[in-house]
């Protein structure tokens, strides 16, 4: 059999770089699109804006046939309303031109502020926020493309951690763990959906390998970890071997400050996700497609050491629960 080829759009990003590694390790040939150099040397780079569809398609065709396109590109949070749909449209056009399956990482924004705790593939999507409505529009566009002959697959996941680059985990929650502090954005008794990026990337590869057995449009839920804030804190303590003092986020101040600070405004818009318990449920039909989950403590330890190398020698398992 000839080697399969994947084109990863946004290959310098958090998920994109993990996908480059995951596909490469499974024997795929990787074409890595990015606006600037910096992708893995194991891949063939396409340095271009992904919205320059003709250039990206021409470069990809020059490297041979492409089997799968993954849209891992993610606009800066404050530019979502301006760029997300255009980037999604470009990804669809690229996949159509190359005759490739298109894959997209989804999230839970689609379900709105009244989301039920169990989020299934057929759960009604009724977002009230701008970002949620944009996400719904993006996935609807993929469904239309599927109806026109381009296979499209959404793999939906919760909040990322691992491969640190701009997530809640590294920018807020775990930023001060070496100093014995952890910032948790919501009540500690609410279940929250988490995705360890290397596990999610491995699942993309497994689904891509099985694409010919799947429907023209698939909506796959990656369960990841569904844990309360208290369980998260205990896992961090066990992973680092030290107790942490837990603090919260000043949501009211962020809403007020959002008038002059766009990033605060965008973050505050999604604060309900820390108030409403929710978890992703993988359907029985999709269970076999996804990579097995890394044990939570190991995943957190690897993520924390990557973020704070001084934790590498922590005596894991020695911590007492916070407040003990």
Domain membership flag for residue 209: yes
Q: What is the mean pLDDT of residues 224-237?
A: 97
Rg (CA), the chain: 20
- Given this model, what pLDDT does residue 117 score? 97
Per-chain mean pLDDT for the chain: 90
For helices 53-62 and 80-98, what crossing angle results, to 10°? 40
CB of 302 within 8 A of CB of 162?
A: yes
323 against 252, higher pLDDT: 252
Per-residue pLDDT tens over the stretch 70-84: 999 988 867 777 899
Is residue 257 included in any domain, yes or no? no
Instruction: Determine which helix (DSSP H) or strand (DSSP E) holds 146, and give its type and residue range.
Output: helix 130-147
- Residue 176 domain flag: no
Per-residue pLDDT tens digits for 49-66: 999 999 999 999 988 899
Beta strands in the chain (DSSP E): 5-9, 29-34, 44-47, 68-71, 101-106, 118-119, 152-156, 159-161, 181-183, 191-196, 217-221, 225-228, 245-247, 279-280
Q: Which residue has the tokens 């809640």?
A: 168
Determine the pLDDT at residue 165: 60
pLDDT digits (tens, 9 = 90+) for 3-43: 899 999 999 988 999 999 999 999 999 999 998 876 666 67
The answer to the question of residue 78 being in a domain is yes
Q: Does 71 map to a domain?
A: yes
For residues 93 and 150, give the distance between their C-alpha atoms in angstroms, rounded to a whole number: 10
Is the CB of residue 241 less than 8 Å from the CB of residue 315? yes
Residue pair 253/312 in contact (Cβ under 8 Å)? The answer is: no
Give strand pairing partners of 159.
194
Q: In terms of Cα–Cα distance, which of 299, 276, 300 is closest to 189? A: 276
Q: Which domain holds residue 68?
A: 5-161+194-226+277-293
Look at the block and give the residue holding tokens 């009604």.
124
Bridge partner list, 228: 191
Number of domains forming the structure of the chain: 1
Does residue 318 have a pLDDT over 50? no
With beta carbons less than 8 A apart as the criterion, state whether 24 and 18 touch.
Answer: no
- Comparing CA positions, the residue from 69, 126, 129 lying closest to residue 94 is 69
Looking at the predicted structure, is the pLDDT value of residue 321 above 90? no
Q: What is the structure's pLDDT at 264?
A: 64
**Amino acid 41: pLDDT:** 64
Write down the pLDDT at residue 33. Answer: 95
Instruction: Report if residue 175 sits inside a domain.
Output: no
- The reported pLDDT for the residue numbered 260 is 78
CATH of the domain at 74: 3.40.50.720
Residue 268 lies in a domain: no
Whether residue 231 is contained in a domain is answered as no
Q: Flag whether pLDDT at 265 surpasses 90.
A: no
């Amino acid at each position: 059999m000839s080697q399969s080829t994947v084109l990863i759009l946004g290959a310098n990003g958090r998920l994109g770089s993990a996908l480059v590694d995951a596909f490469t390790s499974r024997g795929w040939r990787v074409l890595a699109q990015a606006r600037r150099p910096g992708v893995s040397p194991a891949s063939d780079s396409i340095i271009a804006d992904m919205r320059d569809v003709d250039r990206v398609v021409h470069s990809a065709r020059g490297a041979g046939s492409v089997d799968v396109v993954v849209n891992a590109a993610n606009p800066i949070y404050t530019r979502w309303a301006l760029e997300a749909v255009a980037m999604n449209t470009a990804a669809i056009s690229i996949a159509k031109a190359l005759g490739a399956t298109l894959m997209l990482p989804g999230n839970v924004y689609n379900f709105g502020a009244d989301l039920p705790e169990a989020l299934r593939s057929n759960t009604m999507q009724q977002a009230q926020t701008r970002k949620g409505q944009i996400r719904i529009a993006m996935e609807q566009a993929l469904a239309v493309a599927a109806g026109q002959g381009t296979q499209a697959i959404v793999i939906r996941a919760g909040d990322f951690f691992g491969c640190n680059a701009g997530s809640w985990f590294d920018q807020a929650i775990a930023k001060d763990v070496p100093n014995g502090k952890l910032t948790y954005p919501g009540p500690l008794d609410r279940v929250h959906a988490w995705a360890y990026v290397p596990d999610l990337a491995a699942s993309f590869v497994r689904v891509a390998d099985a694409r010919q057995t799947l429907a023209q449009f698939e909506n796959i839920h990656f369960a990841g970890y569904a844990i309360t804030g208290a369980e998260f804190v205990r896992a961090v303590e066990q992973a680092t071997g030290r107790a942490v003092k837990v603090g919260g986020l000043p949501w009211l101040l962020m809403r007020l400050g959002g008038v002059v600070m766009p990033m605060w405004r965008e973050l505050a818009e999604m604060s309900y996700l820390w108030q409403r318990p929710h978890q992703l449920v993988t359907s029985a039909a999709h269970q076999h497609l996804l990579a097995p989950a890394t044990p939570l403590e190991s995943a957190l330890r690897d993520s924390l050491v990557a973020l704070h190398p001084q934790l590498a020698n922590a005596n894991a398992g020695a911590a007492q629960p916070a407040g003990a």
